[in-house]
Structure 1
Amino acid sequence: MKMEMQCIAASDLREYRRTLGTFTTGITIVTTRDSEGRPVGMTVNSFNSVSLDPPLILWSLSRGARSFATFSESETWAVHILSAEQETLSRRFATSGNDKFAGIDVEPGLGDVPLLKNCCARLQCKTAFRHEAGDHLILVGEVIDFDRSNLPPLVFQAGAYAALLPKFEPLGVAQPRQRPKRAACSMQARSRARAGGDRNMQIQFIGHASFSVLARGKRLVCDPWLSGKVFNDSWAQVSPPMQVDWSTVDYLWLSHEHPDHFHFPTLKAIPLVDKQRIIVLYQNHTSKRIVDALRKLGFARVTELPLYQWTKLEQDIEVYCGSVGSMDSFLAVRSEGKCILNLNDCVLNPRQLRYVKSALGPITVLFTQFSIANWVGNDHDELGGSEKKLDELRWQARIVKPDHIVPFASFVYFCNEENRRMNAWINTPDTIAGQGIPGLHFMYPGDVWNLEKDDAASANALQRYREDFNAEKAIDPTPPAVPEEQLMKAARNSMTAFTAHFPRQRKRVPALTIHLTDVDKQLRFDPATGLVAMSPHDPAHPCRFTMCSQAAWYMFNFPWGGGTLEVSGMYRDTQRRESGPHPFFFYQNRISTQFLEFGNFYEGSRTLAFLWRKKWELAYRFMPPLAALNNEAGNTERG
C-alpha cells in the first residue's frame, strides 16, 4: 500500500529547518572519484550508523548537489568524521564551484578514493544499497576499512559550528577526571611529569616569565610565551623556552594582557582537548575583554579570581590574586605549608609590599622582574630604570623576606635596529648576582626545583644565562616604511576614537609631534583641535618624538599601540625627562584596558567594584608620597 505523504507549506519550511537544526550532529566530508578519476568531495551532516553485523552506515545526498551524479553512481567512497580543528575544511567542502582539494595532502584509499588527514575517524565503504527518499537519495555503505584518532569532534547545532565540551562541576568541587584516551607515550610522559608523589611541591622553569607549580598532583602554569617575538616584533627571548606538554597541565594563570604574558600564538596552539579541560585563571578585572578573548580561543573553563582574598582550587591548594595598576596582577600559590609569590611585572612600593606581606604570611619563593621593560632614555638610561629595578629587588628582600628570590620576567633583549641601544642598559643575571641579595636562586628553562629538597642548580643556571647574554644576537633591520595614506588613515581613526572617548579631556592634551625618520616627514596629532596633518620635516620646528613610520602606524592603528611603543622603546622623546610621559599614552591605555569605564550602568558598576576591591593598593600607591616611602624602605625592620 502506498503511503500518502503530507507536505509542509512553503511558509513553514524555514521553521521546519530550524526545528531540525536543534538536533546536534557531527560533521563529515564524503569523498570519491568521478568517472574521469578526479577527486570529488562534499560536506555532509546527515550521517548515521545502521548495523554492526554487517557493518553498515548511511548518509543522504541531495538531488540538487552538483556532485549528485558522481556519488549516486560511485561504488566506493569514504566518510571522514571531522575533528574540532577542521572547521575551515568543512566550510571549504560545503562551498561549490572551487577546487576543494587544491593544496590538500591526501592519501589513497579503497578504489583510490582520496582520504583526508587529521580526522576523528575515516570509514572506507562500498555502496550496498540506494534508496529514494523525497528530494534526497539515501546511500547505504558497507564499511570495508576504518581508522580513528582521539581528536575531539567538530559539531553542528542550530545552523552554527560548535565544539563538544565535557560537562564539568563548578570550580572547587571534587570530581573524577574524565579524559579522552591518549597515546601510550603521552600517558607515560604525564606519569613521569608527576613523578615524586603528591607531597613534593615542585617548580619547573619554562622561560622568561613562565614557570609551573606542581602540588598535590596538580600542575599550574603561569604566563607561557613559547615562540616568536612580541611588542611589534621588538622583543626576543635571550634563552629558548622549554615546550609544555599541555596534557599535564590542570590550571593556567595569566597575569595581564601584555603579549609576553598573554601570548596569543601560544594559547591558540594549545590542543582543543586541553583547552576544554584546563581551568584558566584571570583577575576579576573591570573589563571582560580578556575573559571573552579566552573563550573565543576555545577555553571552556575560565575563572575570574576575586581580588585580595584566598581562593581554594583543590584540597590543600589555594591562590591569592592581587591587582596592581590598570592591568597587572600577581598570584600567590599556597600548598603543603609553602607559599610561592609571583609578582611578575607588578611594581609595588614599600607600603604596598608590607600590605601584601601581611595578607600572605611567610613566603617560600618570590618570583620577580629584575630589569627594564620599557623606554628609559634616548642615548643613555635617562630615567635610571636599571638602578630602580635593583632598588625594587632590595625592597622586596627586606620587606617580604622570602626564603628564596628567583629573578625572572627579564630574559629578553631588544631585537630591532630601532631599539637595540637599550640592550646596553639592561640588568643581566650577573648584575643581580653581584648585589649581595640574600636567597637569590636562578632557574634556567627546563630546570626543576623540588622545594622539599632545595636542589635547584642555581650556579649552573647562572652560567648558562651568562653564555646566552654574552652570545651575539640577531638584530632585525628598521621595519619597511608604511605608505603615507595608510599611516594617515590609522592616525585619523585613532583621533576619532580619542575624541569620542574623551570629548572634554582632549582639550587639555597637547599635540603629538613626530619626526618620521625613514620618510623624513613630520606628523602632527592634535587632540585639542582634532587635527591630523603630515608635512615635510622642518628642522627649524623640532618635534618631540622621533621614530620610524611603522612604529608610528602601529601606535595609532591599535588601541594598545601606545603601550607597545612605550615597552618597545622604538622611539626617542626629547621632553620625557622634563615633562614626563605624554598624556596621549595614558588616555590610549584607558581605551585599551577599559579600566575606568562608566559608559553605562553595567560598566560603571564593574569599575566601581574593581576600584573598591583594590582600594588599599590604590591608597598605598598615592599616600604618602613615594619619596617618603623610599626612605622607609631603607629603614625597614627585619621583623
Structure 2
Amino acid sequence: MHIEFVNHASVLIRHGNIGLLSDPWYEGPAFHKGWRLLVETDAPEVEALLGRTTHIWVSHEHPDHFSVGFFKRFGQIIRDRGITLLFQEIDDQRVADFLRAEGFTIIFLPFGHAVDLGDEVSVTCIKDEFIDSALSIRAGDTHILNLNDCNVGTIARAQEFRDAVGTCDILLTQFSYAAWKGGRDNRAWRVTAAQEKLCNIAVQAEVLQPRMIIPFASFVTFAHERNHYLNDAANTPDTVVANFQAAPFAVQVMAPGDVTDGTTDPAASAAACGWWRGKYAKASDTLMTYESVQASALEAAFAKWRKRVFQNNSVATMKFAQKFSPVKVLQPVVVELDDLVSSWQIDPPKGTFTRTDAPADLIMHSESLEFMFLNSFGFDTLTVSGTFEEARDGGFSRAARSIAIENLNNLGIRFGMGLLFNPKIIAVILERLRGVSAKMGRKEA
C-alpha cells in the first residue's frame, strides 16, 4: 500500500492493481474567485497520474472536491482508460447527472456498506451531515480513513465513525478553517476557528486511534481582494506539527509527489513543511477582482432566482412564515452594493428586488450578488468565499434565514407546511445560526 499526495484534498492510494484517486481539483479558482490552490498541478502530471488510477472518489459537491473543470478537461482520458467514478448514493442527483451526461462509469456507494474494488481493496462510504461524506479504505492489512471536510469535532461524532468502520491506521483530515469567519476586525473568531480545527484532530485521534495523521484538504488561500484578510489566522502544516509534537501518533506532512507506505518519515515531513512554507509566503502576491454588474443585469438575474424559488417552494407558506413564524425567517434583506453605491432590498415571499435607503444587512460587490441569483448554490458559495461583510449586527443571520432558502432546496427540502413541523431540520439550522452569532459575540439567533 502506498499513499501519494497530489494536491489539496487529492491523494492516490495504490495497492496491487488498484489506484484510488480522491477529490481531484488541480487548477483554477473555486467558490466564485474566492479561493486558489497554493500550488497548481500541471496537465502532464495529471495525465501521468491518471495512468496510475483505476477509480476516482468524489466526496461531495463543493468545487474544491468536485471540480467540473477537471472532468471536462480530462474526461476523454478517464473514459479511454476505463476509470470508474465513486460517489455517495444520495437523493440529490446534480453531481450524478453531470457525471452520467459526461459518459463516465459510476459506482454509487451505499452508506455503511463495504464495496469491493478488487486486489484486497474495499471502500465504505460514511455520510456526514447534509452533503459531505467520508471514505474508509481497506488496502490489504492497512485501514485508511479519509475524512476530508467532515465535521467530526466531538467524541460522540467520532465514535459514530468508529462504530461504522472501526479504528484506523492512517487518518487524512482537514486542518484549517474554510469559510467566512467574521469581518476584518473579528480576527478573534478566526483564531478560535483555527484552534477548533486542531481540537477536532485531537478528538478524531483519541477515538479513531491512528498511528499516522496526514493533514490535508486545507492547502488553499483566500485569494480575492475582498477576502484575503481571512488568511490571517489560518493553520499551516507547521501549526499542526507544533501542536502535536507530544502526541501518540505521527503527523506526516506531504508535498505534491510525496509517497508514504505508512512508515513515519520525520525528515520527509520536515522537508514538506519547508516546501509549503514557501508557498504560503507567496499566497497573496496576486489577488483576484470582480467586474461591476449593472442594475438591469441584476434585475434579470433576480427574475431567474425568483422563478426557481417560487417553483421549488410554497409561496403561501413562505408568506405565512414571514408573518407568523416565532423565529424570524424570510424577512426582507437589504444588500449594499458598494461598487454601485446603491442598496437593494430582497423580499423572497413577495418576489421583489427594489432600490432602498434602508439600513443594509450585508455589503458585497454586484458580481457576487449576480452570481448568487444565477446559481442555486450561490449563497453557499458566498459564505465559503467570504467576499462580503456584515453591514450591521445580525445582518448575516438575517440573510441566512431569508435569501439562503435555496440551500434547503439543494438538500431536497421544499419550504412548505411540512418543513414547519419538522423539528429536526429546524433544530439543525437554528443551531448553526446560534453558532455563528456566538462567534460574532452576539445573541440575536
**TM exceeding 0.5:** yes
Matched-pair contact (CA < 8 Å) for 1:312–1:318? yes
The whole-number CA distance in structure 1 between the counterparts of 2:333 and 2:405 is 13
Cα distance change of structure 1 residues 580 and 328 upon mapping to structure 2, 3 Å threshold:
farther
String of CA shifts for 1:16-53, please: whole Å, max 9, x gaps.
xxxxxxxxxxxxxxxxxxxxxxxxxxxxxxxxxxxxxx
Matched-pair contact (CA < 8 Å) for 2:148–2:216? yes
- The reply on whether 1:215 has 2:15 as its aligned counterpart is yes
Matched-pair contact (CA < 8 Å) for 1:272–1:298? no
Cα distance change of structure 1 residues 233 and 434 upon mapping to structure 2, 3 Å threshold:
same
CA-CA distance at 1:340 after TM superposition: 0.7
String of CA shifts for 1:439-490, please: whole Å, max 9, x gaps.
2111111101123x44471111111111211235333353110111111111
String of CA shifts for 1:193-230, please: whole Å, max 9, x gaps.
xxxxxxxx000000011011001221010001111111
SS in 1 for 2:350: coil
Cα distance change of structure 1 residues 449 and 576 upon mapping to structure 2, 3 Å threshold:
farther
Amino acid at match of 1:426: A
String of CA shifts for 1:74-133, please: whole Å, max 9, x gaps.
xxxxxxxxxxxxxxxxxxxxxxxxxxxxxxxxxxxxxxxxxxxxxxxxxxxxxxxxxxxx
Q: 2:127 aligns with which of 314, 323, 326?
A: 323
Matched-pair contact (CA < 8 Å) for 2:38–2:283? no
Tell me the equivalent position of 2:149. Answer: 345
Tell me the equivalent position of 1:494. Answer: 305
Amino acid at match of 1:554: F
The whole-number CA distance in structure 1 between the counterparts of 2:287 and 2:241 is 30
SS in 2 for 1:566: helix
Q: Structure 1 unaligned runs (5+)?
A: 1-200, 605-617, 627-639
The whole-number CA distance in structure 2 between the counterparts of 1:598 and 1:315 is 47
The whole-number CA distance in structure 2 between the counterparts of 1:586 and 1:387 is 28
Tell me the equivalent position of 2:176. Answer: 371
Larger radius of gyration: 1
String of CA shifts for 1:392-433, please: whole Å, max 9, x gaps.
112112121111111111111111111111111211122222
Q: 1:420 aligns with which of 228, 236, 240?
A: 228
Matched-pair contact (CA < 8 Å) for 2:331–2:398? no
The whole-number CA distance in structure 2 between the counterparts of 1:413 and 1:292 is 30
Tell me the equivalent position of 2:380. Answer: 563
Tell me the equivalent position of 1:269. Answer: 73
Matched-pair contact (CA < 8 Å) for 2:379–2:407? yes
Amino acid at match of 2:389: R
CA-CA distance at 1:247 after TM superposition: 2.4
Amino acid at match of 1:518: D
SS in 2 for 1:434: helix
Q: TM-score, normalised by structure 2?
A: 0.84
Report the count of equivalent residues: 399
- The reply on whether 1:582 has 2:404 as its aligned counterpart is no
- Mapping for residues 199-348 of structure 1, pairs under 5 Å: 201-241=1-41, 243-244=45-46, 245=48, 246-276=50-80, 277-299=82-104, 301-348=105-152
Tell me the equivalent position of 2:442. Answer: none
Tell me which moved more, 388-397 or 509-518: 388-397
String of CA shifts for 1:264-293, please: whole Å, max 9, x gaps.
111112252532511100000112221110
Matched-pair contact (CA < 8 Å) for 2:345–2:355? yes
SS in 1 for 2:215: strand
Q: 1:357 aligns with which of 121, 140, 162?
A: 162
Tell me the equivalent position of 1:553. Answer: 370
- The reply on whether 1:393 has 2:201 as its aligned counterpart is yes
Tell me the equivalent position of 2:338. Answer: 517
CA-CA distance at 1:581 after TM superposition: 6.4
The whole-number CA distance in structure 2 between the counterparts of 1:577 and 1:467 is 38
The whole-number CA distance in structure 2 between the counterparts of 1:386 and 1:448 is 27
The whole-number CA distance in structure 2 between the counterparts of 1:353 and 1:410 is 20
- Mapping for residues 435-584 of structure 1, pairs under 5 Å: 435-436=243-244, 437=247, 438-451=249-262, 453-455=263-265, 457-471=268-282, 473-503=284-314, 504-507=316-319, 508=322, 509-535=330-356, 538=357, 541-573=358-390, 574-576=392-394, 579=397, 582-584=400-402
Matched-pair contact (CA < 8 Å) for 1:576–1:582? no
Cα distance change of structure 1 residues 368 and 577 upon mapping to structure 2, 3 Å threshold:
farther
The whole-number CA distance in structure 1 between the counterparts of 2:59 and 2:27 is 18
The whole-number CA distance in structure 2 between the counterparts of 1:399 and 1:298 is 40
Matched-pair contact (CA < 8 Å) for 2:61–2:95? yes
Matched-pair contact (CA < 8 Å) for 2:252–2:264? no
Which structure has greater helix proportion? Answer: 2
CA-CA distance at 1:587 after TM superposition: 2.1
SS in 2 for 1:248: coil
Amino acid at match of 1:447: D
Cα distance change of structure 1 residues 595 and 401 upon mapping to structure 2, 3 Å threshold:
farther
**Structure with greater contact order relative to length (CA < 8 Å, sep ≥ 6):** 2
Tell me the equivalent position of 1:596. Answer: 413
Tell me which moved more, 507-516 or 233-242: 233-242
The whole-number CA distance in structure 2 between the counterparts of 1:345 and 1:320 is 17
Matched-pair contact (CA < 8 Å) for 1:382–1:577? no
CA-CA distance at 1:510 after TM superposition: 1.3
Matched-pair contact (CA < 8 Å) for 2:8–2:37? yes
Cα distance change of structure 1 residues 367 and 567 upon mapping to structure 2, 3 Å threshold:
same
Tell me the equivalent position of 1:165. Answer: none
Tell me the equivalent position of 2:325. Answer: none
Amino acid at match of 1:570: T
Matched-pair contact (CA < 8 Å) for 1:370–1:390? yes
- Mapping for residues 139-178 of structure 1, pairs under 5 Å: none
Tell me the equivalent position of 1:118. Answer: none
Matched-pair contact (CA < 8 Å) for 1:208–1:241? no
The whole-number CA distance in structure 2 between the counterparts of 1:209 and 1:561 is 22
Q: TM-score, normalised by structure 1?
A: 0.59
Cα distance change of structure 1 residues 355 and 528 upon mapping to structure 2, 3 Å threshold:
same
Cα distance change of structure 1 residues 382 and 314 upon mapping to structure 2, 3 Å threshold:
same
Cα distance change of structure 1 residues 472 and 361 upon mapping to structure 2, 3 Å threshold:
closer
Amino acid at match of 1:584: S
